[in-house]
Amino acid sequence: MCSTCGCDQPDGVTITRVGEEEVKFKAVEAGALLHAVHHHGPDAGRLVEVEQDILIKNNQAAAHNRHHFESDGILAINLVSSPGSGKTTLLEQTLVMAAGLTCYVIEGDQQTMNDAHRIAKTGAPVVQINTGKGCHLDANMVHHAIHKLTPVPGSIVFIENVGNLVCPALFDLGEGFRVAIISVTEGDDKPLKYPDMFESSDLCIINKMDLLPYVNFDVAKCKAYARLANPEIEFLEVSATKGDGVEGWINWLQRQR
Q: Which residues bind another protein (CB under 8 A)?
A: 30-31, 34, 37, 39, 41-58, 134-136, 138, 166-167, 169-171, 192, 195-196, 199, 228-229, 231
Q: Per-residue DSSP letters for 154-185?
A: T-EEEEE--S-SSGGGG---S-SEEEEEEETT
Nearer to another protein, 120 or 165 (CB): 165
| Minimal distance, residue 171 CB to another protein, in Å | 7
Three-state secondary structure call for residue 139? helix
Going by C-beta distance under 8 Å and a sequence separation of 6 or more, which residues neighbour residue 71?
none
Nearer to another protein, 36 or 152 (CB): 36
| Minimal distance, residue 164 CB to another protein, in Å | 9
Asked whether 166 and 196 are in contact (CB, 8 A), the reply is yes
On the CB side of 1, CA atoms within 13 Å amount to 24
For residue 241, how far is the Cα from the chain centroid?
Answer: 21
Nearer to another protein, 72 or 199 (CB): 199
| Minimal distance, residue 168 CB to another protein, in Å | 8
Nearer to another protein, 140 or 155 (CB): 140
Going by C-beta distance under 8 Å and a sequence separation of 6 or more, which residues neighbour residue 32?
5, 6, 7, 8
| Minimal distance, residue 112 CB to another protein, in Å | 20
Q: Per-residue DSSP letters for 76-90?
A: EEEEEE-TTSSHHHH
Three-state secondary structure call for residue 126? strand
| Minimal distance, residue 126 CB to another protein, in Å | 25
| Minimal distance, residue 46 CB to another protein, in Å | 7
Asked whether 175 and 67 are in contact (CB, 8 A), the reply is no
Nearer to another protein, 30 or 99 (CB): 30
Nearer to another protein, 180 or 209 (CB): 180
